Amino acid sequence: MFSRIEFIIAETFQGIRRHLDMAFAAIACVVATMLIIGMVALLQINADYLIKNTIERVRFMVYFQPETSRDEALGICKRIGKLNGVASTEFIPKEDAWENYKKQYTGLDKLLGRNPLPDAISVKPINIENIEEVKTIIEGMPEVDKVQRDQDVSNYLIAARSNMQTAGWMLGILLALLAFVIIHHSIELTIVARRKEVVIMMMVGATPATVGLPFIIEGLIYGFIGSILAVVALKGYYGMIAQKMLQTTNTHLWNDSLDIFNGGLILIICGTILGFVASMAAVVKFLIKPKSKITNA
């Protein structure tokens, strides 16, 4: 068993050595793919992080019709609190609101003479995406006079995140396909270049695993090395950008070290799988499918 493993490893590295140019191309492609995917993921995570921070401050106010009684208003407050998409509600009696106004605008009470404010509820949504939906339901309640929301950056962030996500993933998928093709091609070339060895192996009765494994491991190595390089580059650049953002705009970027580690690990696994699948496809095409006549080569 040991000699077989030894043999497979030796064959793998011989294959890489013989096609260093293709090996570099394959690894570079995996690096580019994983960099793009990693960047898209980071942008998305940071957009989510900013949205999450923004949403903590997002509220909208529900004002009642003047004839709505306090009991009715409190009942509606409970109903709104149970709606899907609502995190919490706070009932604001018109007296409290009036006191706040008076503090903010000195002399207002003298000018108006009486409290013109209705009872209101401050609603905190769970997320930004379904604010409009919640707002529509509340606006449909007959006791509600008006639902008001200050303009915030959330809409912009949602749109930006959505566009970024679509474009990023499309680019990522395209690059992944390109990496697949290059790794596949590189393994094909290795198989063709080593067809004599392959023929001999097949003729003396090597199992398909012994014949195919060196090529599969080769693709796996391309994927693994490429994704490790991408993760190292991403980590370095992201750290630099995060520091610069903090210095220049006092903005904290997402920086959860455990999640960054896990994300890097996921990227490495994805890159390795990409290399594995691409080389496996080449091995199946050339060595395993009955139609492949490598022995005639």
Partner 1 sequence: MIEFQQASVTYPSGVTALRNINLRIRKGEFVFLVGPSGQGKSTALKLIYREEKASIGRVLVEGHDVGRLNAGGVARLRRRMGVVFQDFRLLEYKTVRENLIFAMQVVDTPHAIIRKRVNELLEQVGLAERAKAFPLQLSGGEQQRLCIARALINHPPLLLADEPTGNLDPETSRDIIKLLEAINTKGTTVIMATHDRDIVDKMRKRVISVSNGCVIADQLESGYYHDDFDESGSDFNMPEV
The site for partner 1, by CB under 8 A, has a size of 23
State which residue, 7 or 49, has the beta carbon closest to partner 1: 7
Rule CB under 8 A: say whether 199 interacts with partner 1. Answer: yes
Rule CB under 8 A: say whether 1 interacts with partner 1. Answer: yes
Rule CB under 8 A: say whether 20 interacts with partner 1. Answer: no
Q: Strands 86-92, 120-125: parallel, antiparallel or unpaired by DSSP?
A: antiparallel
Nearest to 176 by CA among 247, 240, 267: 267
Rule CB under 8 A: say whether 202 interacts with partner 1. Answer: yes
Residue 95, Cβ neighbours under 10 Å: how many? 11
Rule CB under 8 A: say whether 101 interacts with partner 1. Answer: no
* Burial class of residue 127 (count of CB atoms within 10 Å of its CB; 0-12, 13-18, 19+): middle
Rule CB under 8 A: say whether 142 interacts with partner 1. Answer: no
Exactly one of 3, 104, 247, 248 binds partner 1 (CB under 8 A); which one? 3
Rounded Cα–Cα distance for residues 284 and 72 (Å): 71
Torsional sign, CA 195, 199, 200, 202: positive
Exactly one of 73, 86, 187, 201 binds partner 1 (CB under 8 A); which one? 201
Secondary structure letter of residue 293 according to DSSP: -
Rule CB under 8 A: say whether 53 interacts with partner 1. Answer: no
Nearest to 114 by CA among 125, 102, 122: 102
Cβ 222 to partner 1, closest distance in Å?
23
Cβ 17 to partner 1, closest distance in Å?
12
Question: Contact at 8 Å (CB) between 226 and 285?
Answer: no
Nearest to 276 by CA among 227, 230, 224: 224
Rule CB under 8 A: say whether 126 interacts with partner 1. Answer: no
Rule CB under 8 A: say whether 110 interacts with partner 1. Answer: no
State which residue, 35 or 282, has the beta carbon closest to partner 1: 282
Cβ 289 to partner 1, closest distance in Å?
10
State which residue, 111 or 204, has the beta carbon closest to partner 1: 204
**CA-derived radius of gyration, the chain:** 31
Q: Stretches 146-154, 169-177, 191-199, 266-274: which one binds partner 1 (CB under 8 A)?
A: 191-199
Residue 45, Cβ neighbours under 10 Å: how many? 16
Q: Which residues bind partner 1 (CB under 8 A)?
A: 1, 3-4, 7, 196-197, 199-208, 210-211, 288, 290, 293, 295-296
